[in-house]
Structure 1
Amino acid sequence: MDAPAADIIQPLGHGIFAIDTGFQRPRFDAAYLLVDGGRAAFIDTGTRHALPRLLCALSWVGLGPEAVDWVIPTHVHLDHAGGVGPLMQALPQARLMVHPRGARHMIDPSALYQGALAVYGQAEMDRSYGELMGVDAARVDTSVDGMPLQVGDRTLTLIDTPGHALHHHCIWDPVSRGWFTGDTFGISYRELDSPTGAPWIFPTSTPVQFQPDALRESVQRLLAAQPDAVYLTHYGRLGDVQGLGVQLLGLLDQVQALDLTSADAATDSPSRHTALRDGLKKLYIGSLRQHGCMLTDVAIADALAIDIELNAQGMGVWLDRQKR
């Protein structure tokens, strides 16, 4: 493993542990280990390169591979589920619980790989994701909206949450009164917190299934549970969920308006992509200035570079879908 356990495993209380998967940069991408009554579940996995860190976390909490009952990717994008195949191979008793729209991609990830390849290119696929490994169909279960799932003595609930992706579900934990939100409840990086430690959060529109109206409904559904916390893949546990929801939905409104008013919005062209990318960058920096972020514009743009590029791509796909 490339880092000490203390640097990658963060106890969050209620038997929940955040694991920094090592993807892209520190505190960028989290998987979660949930432990109850000597049984365990992983929620999201990071990429296949995260496997040593996931197994280290399991050992760190005093459990062996046979203690894991479930691996639950929130959706099948590779920063959340690229490590599912290797992890399932390492966990002989575990079953996979995946959204029904994502199950075939976990069994045969070839189409998933090709789709990601089209977005990222071969060099980035080799560096960040590596080869994908399928899961035996006999070990795969699919979720139903509102279904219960037992881990030890606690009963989780899975709900369908489209908007970021059609293959996305979120997981409710009644013990922590928290949602494991994948990308549905947006992205929040710790380096962009205000000087007082208040988090800033923004919606993600990465390719290819961004649907702002559906996303708004999913976020409102999460908020309706009056959660005490959200557990984001990007990144970590956050409180003051209602306040974050106001911020997130406000930015989603602005993003959607930006989509509809950007130069060349009706044309799938490099100039449209540049306009969307520049518009997002301006929107994010302006929002962060209001939030009190003290980083320079250059530092903000650098921290958000990956998201700006992918969100602009996803917004372009959504605009094209509106024309059909």
Structure 2
Amino acid sequence: MHADFIEPLGHGIYAIDTGFQRPRFDAAYLLVENGRAAFIDTGTNHAVPRLLAALELVGLTPAAVDWVIPTHVHLDHAGGVGLLMQSLPQAMVLVHPRGLRHMVDPSALFKGALAVYGPEEMQRSYGQLQPVPAERVQASFDEQTIAVGGRPLLLIDTPGHARHHHCIWDARSRGWFTGDTFGLSYREFDTAAGGEWLMPTSTPVQFDPQALRASVQRLMRFEPQAMYLTHYSRIGFVNHDLPRLAELLLAQVDEMEALALRLRDAPDRHQQLKAGLREQYLRRLQAHGCQLVPEQQAALLGMDIELNAQGLAVWLDKTQPA
């Protein structure tokens, strides 16, 4: 097997770089067991050729795929589901119940993203969303177990980043496929001394810090040995330091919440939220020992800072002042 977009992680798990935005930014996962397979997250429509090529590289045909499981229906995770399903004759989509209708009829999902990104960016990054036939979609439920080639996967409800979010536990690798619940960790910020760094994501429109804290704590109760993030790939495995990473994530959720509450009534709130988030992240990256200059750090985090500020504003507007 040789392709620069697929990385074997052991235990029959492969990370696929979907090519979204920049290299090693957005991952889909292929899980293989006894000649059967599942995709967990798909990236966008533009990722579908890579996903199908990954199957071929591991010696499988599209008919070997039993499940396509988006962690949630944000387009960088699920935008390619409908198009991918057109090539997978045996597969079923397993989606959080709050996201099911968006797989069958993605028009509202497309319209919501269009309002955030605009028509030019939507076409460039996502393409036209394709529906999945209703009879090929199932709603997951909390503590549901499914099997891939006899290998059990457990799904749990993990609100906080979005209400339509579930995470998938693979007991074989003792790892969670976390979507965005366990935050974002970009490989550019890894350091020899400090290891991996991560940050929460409050992308619009359903960020809930209290729910997110509870979800992260629930994930950690399984004593995982790895987290398989969509942004980007496996963390916590090499240095066995998931407790440190969870503590870092939760501390930043607290810090982001405090920043938002402080700026609730600020003039030019969006710009101040962005400035505050930028300061928080760059300060923590400096403490982490990141060798990139601040301008490079800020450039890599630019889209996340913008979306996190938007999401915090939506959360503020939904909550009442104490």
Q: TM-score range by the shorter chain?
A: over 0.9
More off after superposition, 194-203 vs 30-39: 194-203
Q: CA deviation at 1:154?
A: 0.8
Q: 1:217 aligns with which of 201, 214, 228?
A: 214
Aligned equivalent of 1:131:
128
String of CA shifts for 1:24-44, please: whole Å, max 9, x gaps: 000000000000010000000
Aligned equivalent of 2:305:
308
Q: Which amino acid aligns with 1:248?
A: L
Q: TM-score, normalised by structure 1?
A: 0.96
C-alpha separation between the residues in 1 aligned to 2:2 and 2:214? 38
Aligned equivalent of 2:170:
173
Task: Check conservation: 1:16, 1:33, Cα contact below 8 A.
Answer: yes
Correspondence 1:8 to 2:5 = yes
Equivalences for 1:22-61 in 2 at 5 Å? Answer: 22-61=19-58
C-alpha separation between the residues in 2 aligned to 1:281 and 1:203? 13
Percent identity over the alignment? Answer: 64
Q: Which amino acid aligns with 2:109?
A: L
Aligned equivalent of 1:318:
315
Q: Which amino acid aligns with 1:261?
A: R
More off after superposition, 304-313 vs 193-202: 193-202
Equivalences for 1:1-324 in 2 at 5 Å? Answer: 6-196=3-193, 198-239=195-236, 240-262=241-263, 265-266=264-265, 271-323=268-320
Q: CA deviation at 1:192?
A: 1.0
C-alpha separation between the residues in 1 aligned to 2:65 and 2:227? 23
Q: Which amino acid aligns with 2:265?
A: A
Q: Residues 128 and 292 (structure 1 numbering): CA distance in 2 closer, same or farther, change over 3 Å?
A: same
Task: Check conservation: 2:194, 2:288, Cα contact below 8 A.
Answer: no
CA RMSD of aligned residues (A): 1.2
Task: Check conservation: 2:194, 2:289, Cα contact below 8 A.
Answer: no
Q: CA deviation at 1:197?
A: 6.3
Partner SS for 2:312: helix
C-alpha separation between the residues in 1 aligned to 2:98 and 2:212? 17
**Which contiguous aligned blocks of 4+ residues in structure 1 show a shift greater than 6 angstroms?**
none
String of CA shifts for 1:157-190, please: whole Å, max 9, x gaps: 0000000000000000000000000000000000
Q: CA deviation at 1:195?
A: 3.6
Q: TM-score, normalised by structure 2?
A: 0.97
Q: CA deviation at 1:5?
A: 5.2
> Which runs of 5 or more residues in structure 1 are unaligned?
none
Partner SS for 2:98: coil
Task: Check conservation: 1:266, 1:319, Cα contact below 8 A.
Answer: no
